Amino acid sequence: MTTTLAPPTAGRRPAVRATPWWWADAGGVAAGVSLLVVTALWVANGGVQALGGAWPDALSSLGRLTGLLASDLLLLQVLLMARVPVVERAFGQDRLARWHRWTGFTSFHLMLAHIVLITIGYAGAADVNVFGELWDLVVDYPGMLLGTAGTVLLVMVVVTSMRRARRRLRYESWHLLHVYAYLGVGLALPHQIWTGADFIGSAWSRLYWWTLYAVSAGAVLVYRLGIPAWRNWRHRLVVDRVVAEGPGLTSIYLRGRDLGALPVRAGQFFQWRFLDGPGWSRAHPYSLSATPHTGVLRITVKDLGDGSARAATLRPGTRALIEGPYGKLTGEHYRGGPVVMLACGVGITPLLALLGELPYRPGQATLVYRARSAADIAFRAELDWLARHRGVRVIHLLGPRAGHGSWQPAGVPPLHHLAPHLAGADVYVCGPDSWTAAATGAALAAGAGPERVHTEQFAW
C-alpha cells in the first residue's frame, strides 16, 4: 500500500537563516586558538622553565601540558556533541563526525600520557615506588577519586568507539554508551579545578577554564535538553498513521501543533523516540521523507534489525519525542540551475523531500534511484507526480552493484550519460556509506564541482 503525499509549491521554504560560508573556517580557527591559549598559559605558569630542571620536574611539567591539552580537547568534543545549530549547519555531520572522532582519540591518548608522566614525575620527586605514588594520587588528592571514575567511563566510551567494537554493537547500545561520555567529562575534570597548578595559580587560567566549562555545559543544557524539551512541549507530535511502502520499508505520518513554526528544511533529520513501551529512551536518526510545512511530517524507516522494525508496529496516537532538526543536506545554498539526485535504498527519503522543495525548472532535475529490484522501489506515485508536474527525470537502476567499489549495476551507462548536465549541477547523494562514497567519486570524476556535491552521514 502506498499513500501519496504530493509535494507543496516549489520554493516554499521555512524561515531558517542561511549559514554564512565563513563560519566553518572561523570555527576551525577558534578550536586551534584554544589549544594555543592553553599552551601559552602553561608557558606563563613556568611550564618551559620546569623542562630545564630535574627530570621529575620536567616529566611533571609535560604531564601538566598533556593534561591541559586533553582537557581542552575533551571540552571541545563536548561542544561538538552538543548539537549547536550553527555548528551543525556550518560543518555538517560528515565533518563533525570526523572531528569528533579525532578529538576523542587524541584527547584520550593525551590523558593517558598525562597520567603516566605525572605519576612518574611525582614518584621521582618523592623517591617512592611508582605504583605506590599512583595509589596515593587516586586516594589522597582532592577530586582524584572522581577523576578515576570519569577516566574509567571515558575508557569505556573510547573502546566502544573503535571500529571493530562498533560493528559488534547495535546502534541503540552504542548511542546509550556514549551518553556516559558526559558523565565521564563531568567526573574527570574537577580535580583540575581543585589541585591543578595551571588553574589555581593564575587568574587568567581560571578565567579561561571557567569560561570554557560554562560554555560547554551551557551548550549541552540548552541544545541537548532545553530546546528539545521546549519543542516537544510546543508541537506535541503524535503518530497519525503508519503505511507500508515496500519490503521492510514503513512510513510514519505525524501530526502536531504549529508544525509550520518548526525550523526544519527538507533533507534534515531528527533523533526520534516513540513512547510505545520499553526501549522508548533509545533515539534513532530518521530524516524526513516528505517536504515539511505541509501540515504533516513523514519519516520512512527501513527495517535494519537495530530496533527499527518497531516502526511498523506503532499505533495511531503514540507520542513522539524529537531532537533536532540536524544536518546540512539541504537546499540552503542552492541558487537555481540543474539538480542531480543520486539515491540508493532508503537514501531516497531526504532526496524526495528535497525534490519537493527546491525551485528548479521543468527538465532541470534528474533522480537516479538504485534499488535491488522493482519491488524495492518506494514512493512510485510521488515520483510519478514529480515527473508529470515538475518535469523530474526519474531513472531507476535495478540489480546488484557491478562489483566492489561500484555504485551502479553492470551494463549501465556512465553517470555523465545518465545526467548530461551534471558538471554544472548541484549534486545530492544519499545511501549506505560505501555506496555513497562510490557515487560521490563517480560524480566528481564526471565533472561535478566538489563544492556542489552534497552528502552527509546521519549518525555519529
Looking at the structure, tell me whether residues 190 and 254 fall in a common domain.
no
| H or E element, residue 424 | none
Looking at the structure, tell me whether residues 106 and 220 fall in a common domain.
yes
Contact 367, 343 (CB under 8 A): yes
Given 224, 254, 276, the domain boundary residue is 224
Looking at the structure, tell me whether residues 254 and 187 fall in a common domain.
no
**184 in a structural domain:** yes
The domain spanning residue 291 has which CATH number? 2.40.30.10
Given 303, 326, 349, the domain boundary residue is 326
Looking at the structure, tell me whether residues 262 and 210 fall in a common domain.
no
**18 in a structural domain:** no
Looking at the structure, tell me whether residues 50 and 124 fall in a common domain.
yes
**14 in a structural domain:** no
The domain spanning residue 382 has which CATH number? 3.40.50.80
The parent domain of residue 133 ranges over 23-224
**178 in a structural domain:** yes
Looking at the structure, tell me whether residues 218 and 303 fall in a common domain.
no
| H or E element, residue 394 | strand 393-398
Looking at the structure, tell me whether residues 190 and 271 fall in a common domain.
no
Contact 367, 355 (CB under 8 A): yes
The domain spanning residue 158 has which CATH number? 1.20.120.1770
Q: Which residues, 6+ apart, have CB-to-CB distance to 131 below 8 Å?
A: none
Given 326, 359, 389, the domain boundary residue is 326
Contact 194, 142 (CB under 8 A): yes
Looking at the structure, tell me whether residues 210 and 290 fall in a common domain.
no
Contact 108, 157 (CB under 8 A): no
Whether omega for the bond prior to residue 8 falls within 30 degrees of 0, making it cis, is no
The CA–CA distances, whole Å, from 105 to 28, 42, 94, 190, 369 equal 18, 22, 17, 21, 37
Looking at the structure, tell me whether residues 76 and 202 fall in a common domain.
yes
Looking at the structure, tell me whether residues 202 and 241 fall in a common domain.
no
Contact 4, 385 (CB under 8 A): yes
Looking at the structure, tell me whether residues 217 and 289 fall in a common domain.
no
**9 in a structural domain:** no
The dihedrals phi and psi of 365, each to the nearest 5 degrees, come to: -110, 135
Q: Which residues, 6+ apart, have CB-to-CB distance to 66 below 8 Å?
A: 110, 111, 113, 114, 117
Overall domain count for the chain: 3
pTM strictly above 0.75: yes
**81 in a structural domain:** yes
**306 in a structural domain:** yes
Looking at the structure, tell me whether residues 190 and 296 fall in a common domain.
no
pLDDT one digit per residue (tens) for the chain, 460 residues: 444 554 544 444 444 555 655 566 677 788 888 889 989 888 888 888 888 888 888 998 898 899 889 888 888 888 887 888 777 776 766 677 777 778 888 888 888 898 889 888 888 888 888 888 777 777 767 666 666 766 776 777 666 666 665 666 666 566 666 666 666 666 666 676 666 666 766 788 888 888 888 898 899 899 989 999 999 999 999 999 999 887 788 999 999 999 888 989 899 899 899 998 877 777 888 999 988 877 889 999 887 765 677 888 899 999 999 998 988 888 888 888 999 999 998 899 999 999 999 999 999 999 999 988 888 888 999 999 999 999 999 999 998 887 777 888 888 888 988 998 998 899 999 988 889 989 999 999 999 988 899 987 654 4
Closest CA to 151 of 91, 71, 265: 71
The per-residue DSSP string of 68-86 comes to HHHHHHHHHHHHHHTT-HH
**231 in a structural domain:** no
